[in-house]
Amino acid sequence: MDALDQLYTAGSWSVKPGKEEEFTRAWDEFAQWTSRDQPGAGQGLLLQDIDNPARFLSFGPWESAERVAEWRAKSEFAAFLAKARELCEDIRPSTLKVVAQSG
């Protein structure tokens, strides 16, 4: 796939105070399952804001929009989202594509 058409899923997570470690563990387990068991998924990354430790961003590449839809339809996806809702004040998921890059 051309890098300028690469598809990513992303999430912006505002975690409840004191729940950062629990959220990180839950996200990591979910991301490991995703990269291991979901066709078309690449390696996911979770970033934590240095100045606001309750703010996280996650993203990972995907082969196609169809693979993303299959992943989001899985019961494991719903279970993680339910857990994340317990741990977060706000969740903002996105599906994005690369439209420009440096270098």
Domain range holding 24?
3-97
Could you tell me if residue 37 is inside a domain? yes
Q: Is residue 102 part of a domain?
A: no
For residue 91, tell me if it sits in a domain: yes
Counting Cβ atoms within 10 Å, is residue 49 exposed (0-12), middle (13-18) or buried (19+)?
Answer: exposed
Q: Spell out the residues 6+ positions from residue 44 whose beta carbon is closer than 8 angstroms to its own.
A: 31, 34, 35, 58, 59, 60
Per the structure, the count of domains in the chain is 1
pTM greater than 0.85 (yes/no): yes
CATH of the domain at 58: 3.30.70.100
pLDDT averaged per 10 residues in sequence order, the chain, 103 residues: 84 98 98 96 97 98 97 97 97 96 84
* Dihedral Cα 46, 43, 59, 88, nearest 10 deg: -50
Within a domain: 103: no
How long is the chain? 103
Return the pLDDT at 2.
Answer: 58
